[in-house]
């Protein structure tokens, strides 16, 4: 029994249905043939040129990413654009590309839930339920809000986030000694949900991609902000889901390797 691209698509979309994606998003098979037999799968947050090179070197003919290479339909595919170069390189090397983005963020057991588990927040609710969810689904959506079992200071919560996510630093705003009882967590870029987090009574928001004025305003309202980066709040959880996919495939009788990229990296550097 051989594993095909359509089998991966089926497994991914049974777990994270595409109807859960945000309206602006594009998910699913970006490049490739559904009937193509899969050798090995390379998992990365982004489809960078380095990741494509890694797939070629490791003989992986399917790349599974969180962020889609194509958000919008390109008017052309040429070597004059970065996206065009990547698509041409994928086709040249007969590599398929599948992306699960906001649907994987939103679904129960997906990126946001996995991040909550890594941080040790076991009891929580969803901040904004997905418009595409089933009627009986009260969990799929963007953001999670947790009432902590034990209060924690902002200083200690920063240290915990940094340690658990294995990031070199976190940016934060707020008094280090402030007491945190209720935490909102939005993986990736969560700034658009700051007002909702405040309305729901969050003392602190953990996310990435924050900007000066947002952080300044909410900090003035005594809400702690911890920015662990877009990459930092997604890659650790995405790797966990990659391991889960490999286990699932093994249980189905497939022996294909699911390889976590060694070249997936945060584009930001520190000095």
CB 29: neighbour CB atoms within 10 A? 18
Binding residues: 66-67, 105, 230, 234
Binding residues for a divalent metal cation: 66-67, 105, 230, 234
How far apart CA 7 and CA 23 sit, in angstroms, is 25
Angle between helices 111-119 and 154-165 (to 10 degrees): 120
Chain centroid to Cα 69, Å, comes to 14
How far apart CA 227 and CA 161 sit, in angstroms, is 10
Chain centroid to Cα 79, Å, comes to 28
CB 149: neighbour CB atoms within 10 A? 10
How far apart CA 100 and CA 10 sit, in angstroms, is 12
């Amino acid at each position: 029994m051989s594993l095909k691209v359509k089998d991966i698509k089926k497994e991914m979309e049974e777990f994270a249905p595409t109807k859960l994606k945000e309206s602006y998003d594009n998910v699913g098979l970006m490049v490739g043939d559904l009937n193509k037999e899969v050798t090995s799968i390379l998992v990365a947050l982004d489809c960078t040129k380095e990741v494509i090179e890694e797939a070629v070197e490791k003989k992986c003919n399917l790349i599974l990413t969180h962020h889609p290479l194509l958000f919008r339909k390109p008017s052309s595919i040429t070597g004059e654009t970065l996206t065009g170069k990547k698509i041409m390189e994928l086709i040249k090397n007969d590599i398929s590309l599948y992306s699960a983005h906001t649907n994987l963020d939103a679904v129960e057991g997906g990126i946001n839930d996995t991040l909550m588990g890594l941080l040790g927040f076991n009891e929580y609710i969803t901040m904004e339920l997905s418009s595409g969810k089933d009627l009986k689904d009260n969990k799929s959506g963007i953001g999670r809000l947790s009432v902590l079992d034990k209060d924690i200071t902002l200083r200690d919560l920063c240290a915990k986030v940094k340690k658990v996510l294995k990031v070199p630093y976190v940016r934060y705003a707020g008094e280090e000694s402030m007491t945190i009882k209720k935490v909102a967590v939005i993986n990736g870029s969560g700034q658009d949900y700051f007002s909702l987090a405040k309305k729901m009574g969050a003392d602190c928001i953990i996310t990435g991609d924050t900007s000066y004025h947002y952080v300044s305003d909410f900090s003035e309202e005594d809400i702690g902000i911890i920015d662990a980066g877009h990459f930092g709040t997604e890659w650790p959880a995405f790797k966990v889901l990659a391991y889960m996919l490999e286990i699932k495939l093994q249980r189905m009788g497939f022996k294909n390797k699911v390889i976590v990229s060694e070249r997936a990296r945060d584009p930001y550097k520190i000095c």
